Amino acid sequence: MIGWLQGQLADRWQQASRCSLLLVCGGVGYEVQMPRRQWDQLGEAGSALSLHIHQVIRDDAWTLYGFSSRAERDLFRELVAVSGVGPQMALGLLGQLSCEELVRAIIQADLRLLTQAPGVGKRTAERLAVELRTRLQERYGSGDNPDDTADLSLSANAATSELANAVRDEVSLTLTALGYEALEINRALRAVAALNSAENTLEIEAADDWLRECLRWLSRSQAA
């Protein structure tokens, strides 16, 4: 598998929404697709360029997707693992938002921001938030950033990580039994965590307190 390429930029073009380039490495030219945000920042023909690569092999084609950092390539791989999210939609998300903005939008379930990317509707945005939120929070919320290319430490969610898994699971199961959906539950937990962090008014270990405050927040949210 091709994981990284270094060479000279020979050409660049756009076809519909797809932004591509030709990277010449050792006398071989590789066609690579990349997010619009990075494509816009490419240098002149002949300039040196190195890209982290995600390779897709199918019966009818081999396709390369290029990224300036390993962190962005890894985030692309997380996106395409979500049902209904293909490479072009993932490129659209990364072309619309920076790594930091996209991770934060997914963790905070910011549907308004996510749906600004081409082809991303509300249901897809909700699916991204539900399926990736925990994984991205565990990966980036702890400050893990292998390439040091973006600060993906998300202080807004730090309080949520303090909530013991057993307590969070108990609260989530209770709210699910009451008919709330996963996205609503995640939003409520984050909102209550933020309130606790700001005002220090809740006992972080007490599941009953968390459940009460989540129900209060959900009631206000539905009434709004």
User: What confidence tens digit (pLDDT) does each residue in 6-22 have?
Assistant: 999 999 999 988 999 99
Would you state the pLDDT for residue 224? 62
Would you state the pLDDT for residue 171? 82
Residue with tokens 């933020």: 194
The predicted model scores a pTM of: 0.65
Q: Of 87, 48, 92, which Cα lies nearest the Cα of 68?
A: 48
Q: Please state the length of the chain.
A: 224
Quote the CA–CA distance of 153 and 155 in Å, as a whole number.
6
Q: Report CA-CA distances (Å) from 22 to 31, 46, 66, 67, 220.
A: 5, 11, 11, 14, 53
Does domain 70-153 bear CATH number 3.50.40.10? no
As to burial, measured by CB atoms within 10 angstroms (0-12 exposed, 13-18 middle, 19+ buried), residue 144 is exposed
Q: Which residues of the chain have pLDDT under 50?
A: 142-163, 202
In the CATH scheme, what is the code of domain 4-67? Answer: 2.40.50.140
Which two structure tokens, joined as six digits, stand for 216? Answer: 């209060």
